[in-house]
């Protein structure tokens, strides 16, 4: 399903889409605005109509499950190249090859890119990826020298995709299915590219020295008791933040 919105409604529409489809959606520039597309079932279609009642919407043809492949293009983020298995990585950058399957995380979403930017500047050590999706951030972390690496997610297809992509990239990491309330294993650095509400639930579940967060709009910023804000970066209307554990 896709809705087309004018630029004046874009920020509000993005926030709604993020709430409706936290697993991800796409943005495509159109002559009179932006198309926001989510690959979803009848339930998702109903939610979309509820929120965007007056907006134009189109059924995505049979095969939507694989249509994301059209949008899966390689990206460069600092020392990293992230791309699909059917593209040849260039010589030089560290290559992260991802086939997300039904999970989120081609590497091209601004929130993923912002997390990848932050990771490259952080001290290496143990690493926790909360909401690993395709495993793109876990695999990048392992290639950058973080160890041990653990990816957790609330969705079984994400765990499968992370394990398969780790194998394909020849990196060692663990992927574990969790609930949204489980206490999480301690780590020196954690990254969480999940919704704002889920990020704000992390302090109660997390024992880390550094935390990179994203998954929310540029206009939003998580409140994280027990953490100090260090740095903010933005890209394409999305926000990402680096925090460190407050002393004491």
* Near ligand SAM in 128-167, by CB under 6 A: 130-133, 136-137, 152-155, 158
Q: What angle do CA 113, 165, 169 make, to 5 degrees?
A: 90
Q: Least distance from C-beta 53 to ligand SAM, angstroms?
A: 26
Preceding omega of 148 cis (within 30 degrees of 0)? yes
16 binds ligand SAM (CB under 6 A): no
CA distances from 20 to 23, 24, 184 (A): 9, 9, 25
Residue of 3, 21, 24, 227 that binds ligand SAM (CB under 6 A): 24
Nearer to ligand SAM among residue 16 and residue 198 (C-beta): 198
Q: How far is CA 222 from the centre of its chain?
A: 16
d(CA 77, CA 72): 15
Nearer to ligand SAM among residue 33 and residue 108 (C-beta): 108
196 binds ligand SAM (CB under 6 A): no
198 binds ligand SAM (CB under 6 A): yes
Nearer to ligand SAM among residue 11 and residue 200 (C-beta): 200
CB 131 within 8 A of CB 101: no
Looking at beta carbons, which residue is closest to ligand SAM?
131
Q: At what angle do helices 136-144 and 156-169 cross, to 10 degrees?
A: 30
Q: Least distance from C-beta 103 to ligand SAM, angstroms?
A: 6
**Residue 35 belongs to what H/E stretch?**
strand 33-37
The DSSP line for 82-141 is EE-TTSPPPSSSEEEE---TTSS--S-SHHHHHHHHHHHTSPPS-EEEES-TTSHHHHHH
Nearer to ligand SAM among residue 38 and residue 194 (C-beta): 194
The interface region with ligand SAM, picked from 3-11, 166-174, 192-200, 220-228 by CB under 6 A, is 192-200
DSSP 227: E
193 binds ligand SAM (CB under 6 A): yes
Tell me, by CB under 6 A, how many residues bind ligand SAM: 26
Residue of 39, 104, 127, 243 that binds ligand SAM (CB under 6 A): 104
112 binds ligand SAM (CB under 6 A): yes
Binding site for ligand SAM (CB under 6 A): 22-24, 103-105, 109, 112, 115, 130-133, 136-137, 152-155, 158, 178, 180, 193-194, 198, 215
């Amino acid at each position: 399903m896709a809705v087309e919105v004018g630029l004046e409604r874009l920020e509000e529409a993005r926030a709604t889409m993020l709430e409706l489809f936290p697993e991800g959606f796409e943005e495509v520039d159109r002559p009179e605005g932006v198309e926001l597309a989510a690959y979803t079932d009848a339930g998702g279609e109903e939610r979309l109509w509820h929120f965007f009642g007056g907006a134009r919407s189109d059924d995505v043809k049979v095969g939507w499950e694989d249509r994301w492949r059209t949008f899966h293009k390689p990206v460069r983020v600092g020392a990293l190249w992230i791309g699909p298995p059917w593209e040849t990585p260039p010589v030089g950058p560290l290559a992260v090859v991802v086939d997300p399957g039904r999970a989120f995380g081609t590497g091209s979403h601004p929130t993923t890119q912002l997390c990848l930017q932050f990771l490259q500047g952080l001290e290496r050590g143990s690493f926790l990826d909360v909401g690993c999706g395709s495993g793109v951030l876990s695999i990048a972390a392992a290639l950058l020298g973080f160890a041990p690496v653990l990816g957790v997610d609330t969705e079984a297809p994400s765990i499968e995709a992370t394990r398969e992509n780790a194998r394909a990239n020849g990196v060692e990491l663990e992927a574990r299915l969790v609930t949204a309330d489980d206490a999480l294993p301690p780590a020196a650095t954690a990254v969480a590219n999940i919704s704002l509400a889920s990020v704000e639930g992390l302090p109660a579940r997390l024992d880390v020295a550094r935390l990179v967060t994203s998954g929310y709009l540029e206009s939003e910023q998580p409140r994280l008791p027990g953490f100090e804000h260090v740095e903010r970066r933005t890209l394409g209307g999305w926000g990402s933040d680096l925090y460190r554990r407050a002393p004491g």
